[in-house]
Amino acid sequence: MPADTSSGHAVATLTIDEVCVGFGGLLALDHVSMSVAPGEVVGVIGPNGAGKTTLFNVICGFVRPDSGTLVYGDTPLRGHQPHDLTKLGIARTLQGVGLCAGLSAQENVMLGAQSALHSDLGSALLGLWRSSGEERRVRQRAHEMLERFGVADYANVAPGALPYAVRKRICLARALMAEPRLLLLDEPASGLSNDEMDDLSDTIKRLAGRMSVLLVEHHMEVVMAVSDRVVVLNFGQVIADGTPEAIRVHPEVTSAYLGDEVPETHGLGSESAHA
């Protein structure tokens, strides 16, 4: 899928090569190699304990790989920290919503623009903006982002008083405030109803082409609906990498989910595919 370069940003590509991570003698990631092309949506799936969260944490800088390399565009990712991501053009959401309880929904979304602000984070939180014009622009952008996700009515409400699905939308709105070239989504469908997952899938589809998206998710129906390509992990290894159609009938993938060898014609249904 072609990338939208109208914003003038260089397009992101993430390349992971032979990454290994061990915990107490157990390899959580065993020579994992994969990539995300410009404008591509890549889903990462696998049974519980397959290494999905560890992979996400390595990319985000929470976990250091024992060996292997990560390259974002032309930039090697070595020793990076989670707070470095937005300056690189990478935004992320986490399994936990991670919103600031003491701020309104709109103020939480405003924090997503922090990397581009002239005021520092402390000044912004205290209201000591160097430029009232800057504050107005960021506040307006945040409100427009809330409208885009259909939650503008909650702009002045604290996150703790909001339904979980609304908080998820606010978290995604905050991530997009940074205008990322690569968006990392960690279990965005967790805790959502079927209708809410459909809305999420529609949102990810709208992002496709405008940015690269790496989606770590255990809800197979979401991954299959939005991904250009799916990478499958099992016991820390990549066992398959291909289109959703190819992954559905891949015998090793089906075996990993069901625990038994099955014919190649047996596709992965949504009920059996949940990790």
Strands 67-72 and 14-23: antiparallel
Per-residue pLDDT reduced to its tens digit, 28-85: 999 999 999 999 999 999 998 899 999 999 999 999 999 999 999 989 998 899 888 8
Residue 93's pLDDT band (boundaries 50, 70, 90)? confident
The pLDDT value recorded for residue 104 is: 93
Per-residue pLDDT reduced to its tens digit, 173-224: 999 998 899 999 999 988 889 999 999 999 999 888 789 999 999 898 999 9
Per-residue pLDDT reduced to its tens digit, 162-173: 998 899 899 999
List Cβ neighbours of 245 (8 Å cut-off, separation of 6 or more): none
**Distance (Å, rounded) from C-alpha 206 to C-alpha 239?**
29
Cα dist. 61→8, 91, 113, 171, 201 in Å? 27, 12, 20, 19, 27
How many helices and strands, by DSSP H and E, does the chain display? 10, 10
**What are the residue boundaries of the structural domains of the chain, listed by start?**
12-89+180-269, 102-179
Q: Which of 82-96, 97-111, 249-263 is least confident?
A: 249-263
The pLDDT value recorded for residue 198 is: 92
**Distance (Å, rounded) from C-alpha 166 to C-alpha 111?**
17
- Are 199 and 222 in contact by the 8 Å Cβ rule? The answer is no
Amino acid identity at 190? S
Summary mean pLDDT of the chain: 83
The pLDDT value recorded for residue 210 is: 86
| Closest to 188 measured CA to CA, from 59, 98, 55 | 98
When computed from its CA atoms, the radius of gyration of the chain, rounded to whole angstroms, is: 19
The pLDDT value recorded for residue 129 is: 52
Residues in the chain: 275
Strand ordering across the sheet containing 182-186: 90-93, 182-186, 212-216, 41-45, 229-234, 237-242
The pLDDT value recorded for residue 235 is: 94
Higher pLDDT: 34 or 254? It is 34
Residue 275's pLDDT band (boundaries 50, 70, 90)? very low
pTM: 0.81
The pLDDT value recorded for residue 51 is: 94
Residue 9's pLDDT band (boundaries 50, 70, 90)? very low
Per-residue pLDDT reduced to its tens digit, 101-158: 889 999 999 988 876 554 554 455 545 455 567 778 889 999 999 998 899 999 999 9
The pLDDT value recorded for residue 268 is: 56
The pLDDT value recorded for residue 8 is: 41
Cα dist. 134→121, 122, 175 in Å? 13, 15, 19
CATH topology of domain 12-89+180-269: Rossmann fold (3.40.50)
